[in-house]
A and B are shown apart, each in its own frame.
Chain A
Amino acid sequence: QKEVEQDPGPLSVPEGAIVSLNCTYSNSAFQYFMWYRQYSRKGPELLMYTYSSGNKEDGRFTAQVDKSSKYISLFIRDSQPSDSATYLCAPTGGGKLIFGQGTELSVKP
């Protein structure tokens, strides 16, 4: 079993939709949970991160962690065509990031 499993998608939604991106993980020692966004032909960039369980909101984006079920989510409200990218969850452990497979999102105008 991989340490981090992510719904691979691809996911296609109309503009304005609410998007839910999800990951599960197996290592209970993870404490920081990162979400990276990767545009086509670019390197990943940090979108946001959370510490331990709970929610964190940043504009249209909300990251949620449930450590009891080892479940990580990223919600995008009022999705825009500019949100079209691959989203990678990445819990941290031992100074290293453990990446999920990535979910490719396409938001259609």
Chain B
Amino acid sequence: DADVTQTPRNRITKTGKRIMLECSQTKGHDRMYWYRQDPGLGLRLIYYSFDVKDINKGEISDGYSVSRQAQAKFSLSLESAIPNQTALYFCATSASLGQGAGNEQFFGPGTRLTVL
């Protein structure tokens, strides 16, 4: 079974709709992250959470919100989707240990979102 799962894997929606992407992990990690990936732009951090009560904005948080429901669950919402939010979205987790391999982030399989 996958350690980091994302649902849905693919989603097509219309401009103005509210969308929620969900992420669950069984790795027991405290830290969770949401990224979007666009061609030529690499992975850009949207939000991150170092524990259940800690939520932080990343590089490109405008138009997005998150909820950390439990240690294992971290959801990303687009309150009113727009076409330039069409992208590949990844959830990732890492351990609290921040040194060496503790910096390693484990990624989910991604959600391909298309906003028409």
Residues of A within 8 A of B (CB): 6, 8, 32, 34, 41-46, 49, 51, 88, 92, 95-97, 99-102
Interface size on B, residues (CB 8 A): 27
Given A6-B42, A44-B43, A88-B43, A97 contacting B105 (CB threshold 8 A): yes
Residues of B within 8 A of A (CB): 4, 31, 33, 35, 40-45, 48, 50, 58, 90, 92, 94, 98-101, 103-105, 107-110
Given A43-B108, A95-B31, A96-B48, A32 contacting B103 (CB threshold 8 A): yes
Bound-state Cα–Cα, A88 to B107, Å: 13
Query: What A residues does B107 contact at CB under 8 A?
Result: 43-45
Q: Which residue of B lies closest to A103 (CB)?
A: B42
Bound-state Cα–Cα, A34 to B104, Å: 8
